[in-house]
Amino acid sequence: MDPPNLRQQCQALLQLCDSVCKAQGVDTLDVSGPLGVEQALSEVPGIPGRLNRPELMPHTHIKLGALTTRHGHAALVHSIVHIEKNAIDLALDICWRFAGMPEAFYRDWLRVAREEAYHFTLLREHLLSLGFDYGDFPAHNGLWEMAERTRHDLLARVALVPRTLEARGLDASPAVKTKLVSIGDHRGGEILDIILRDEIGHVAVGNHWYGWLCEQRGLEPISTFESLRLTYKAPKLKGPFNLAARRAAGFKEEELAALLCA
């Protein structure tokens, strides 16, 4: 029997419940191996694999506490660890779920998955240094909920996950870094600089493939995005926006103007 191709391996990794094992597994993927591009893979139970911690709840119910306290500081770092865990799952999911794309599409998202695993590991190690671990605080499931809504539509997935919800990280990063550095957490600030650098590239991947799909389907990108946002009930984005990072990630001036005028 032939060994599983990379898309099959992504599906298997996505089912792992232990996030640390999942990150380690992503890091050991041979991303130059066979992809199985045309193979349609069936949905399997347990996606994404999760332990019973962290407890998931609506984001409006989550209170981080005062940043000046040990608990509040760790809760903020934990919230970013959780985002990176979800980002691993999202990159793995887009690889296995959508067949028939060019090989470069899968290579791009495999690279994203490995960088997200690196971010998760850096942040978890930092959280451990604060005396806590991933799962010690509640978290919300907003990123994965949008992945569920867009599981049958690749155009919607790339429009509303990497270039919408994940792009919010570009906007939020400077303010979060300022908060951490203000309480003397310079290591946390350094990690956020690494993540921002890489996330610009990840959002650029989303922008590239969104543009490619729009061109293939003869769609106008800006009006199509707004239609998808309404159809899939994605949040309307509000400033402040990190315009420099968004430009570096490939957002066009017309899109940025539309954001600012919304």
CA-CA distance, 104 to 10, in Å (whole number)?
16
* pLDDT at residue 260, rounded to an integer: 85
Residue pair 75/42 in contact by the 8 Å Cβ criterion = no
CA 165 from chain centre, in angstroms, equals: 8
Domains of the chain: 6-261 (1.20.1260)
Residue pair 148/234 in contact by the 8 Å Cβ criterion = no
* pLDDT at residue 117, rounded to an integer: 98
Per-residue tens of pLDDT for the chain, all 262 residues: 678 999 999 999 999 999 999 999 999 999 889 999 999 999 998 899 999 999 998 878 788 889 999 999 999 999 999 999 999 999 999 999 999 999 999 999 999 999 999 999 999 999 999 999 999 999 998 889 999 999 999 999 999 999 999 999 999 999 999 999 999 999 999 999 999 999 999 999 999 999 999 999 999 999 999 999 999 999 888 889 999 999 999 999 999 998 888 6
* pLDDT at residue 236, rounded to an integer: 86
Residue 213 token pair = 């799909």
* pLDDT at residue 25, rounded to an integer: 97
Strand partners, 185: none
Helices (H), the chain: 6-15, 19-27, 70-97, 103-129, 142-149, 154-160, 168-182, 186-217, 221-231, 243-248, 253-261
- Does the global pTM surpass 0.75? yes
* pLDDT at residue 247, rounded to an integer: 97
The CA-atom distances, in angstroms, between 243 and each of 59, 168, 208, 251, 260 are 26, 11, 18, 9, 10
CA-CA distance, 245 to 157, in Å (whole number)?
21
Torsion from C-alpha of 6, 11, 16, 20, nearest 10 degrees: 50
- CB-based contacts of 221: which residues, under 8 Å, 6+ apart? 210, 211, 214, 255
Give the up-direction half-sphere exposure of residue 16: CA atoms within 13 A in the CB hemisphere.
18
* pLDDT at residue 131, rounded to an integer: 97
CA-CA distance, 256 to 251, in Å (whole number)?
7
